[in-house]
Amino acid sequence: MLLIISGPSGVGKTTITRAVERDFADQGAVFSVSATTRPKTAADREGVDYHFVTDEEFDRLIEEGAFLEWAGVFGRRYGTLRRWVEDRLAEGKLVILEIDVQGAINVRRAMPDAFGIFVLPPSEEALLERLRARKREPEEMIQRRFAEAKREIATARESGVYDAFVVNDTLEHAIAEAEGLLRAELARRGR
């Protein structure tokens, strides 16, 4: 099964995604590592966090049709490698994509059987506070991310792509809710 997890910056989706991957290892859960043109940071691990590629390599992958979806985000590009996802699904794995709303829309067009969960903040104020608490970026960038987050949430609600919305009020609750939704969907599909 293909699982899509999305949510705006600062909502905790990566932490939730990693918990789902760990807790569903018995279901063959694997995280799809995206390709990106963004620079690698000291904390990043090639092939674990991202596949870091040049703009030229990314262009070549687009031309070859290698992406299930790709998008530009804040001046960088990110893409899901189609072959890797299809190979893991053929092996019976639970493939987890952590992608933005536009990517999710594109994936659902290509793979309508995917199951989508969108992670929401408890409030706009809480999201802005979380973006600031990360202390990664200047206020101008935080405001850009916040404006984009509000647009992303509206698009997610209107798109019909997501099967469920999980509010990350507390991380433990959000993880438990996402995992409960996933267990119910796997049971519905006879897995």
Q: What is the pLDDT of residue 5?
A: 98
Percent of the chain whose predicted confidence (pLDDT) is above 70: 100
- Has this prediction a pTM greater than 0.75? yes
Which residues are paired to 80 by β-bridges?
Answer: 69
pLDDT of residue 75: 85
Q: What's the CATH number where 60 sits?
A: 3.40.50.300
pLDDT digits (tens, 9 = 90+) for 12-48: 999 999 999 999 999 899 999 999 999 998 888 998 8
Domain limits for position 105:
2-188
Is the CB of residue 3 less than 8 Å from the CB of residue 182?
A: yes
Contact assessment for residue 107 and residue 89, using Cβ atoms and an 8 Å cutoff = no
The total domain count for the chain is 1
**102-115: burial string, b at 16+ Cβ within 10 Å, e else:** bbbbbbbeebeebb
pLDDT band at 10 (very low <50, low <70, confident <90, very high): confident
d(CA 174, CA 186): 18
Whether pLDDT at 49 is above 90: no
- In the prediction, which pLDDT does 160 show? 94
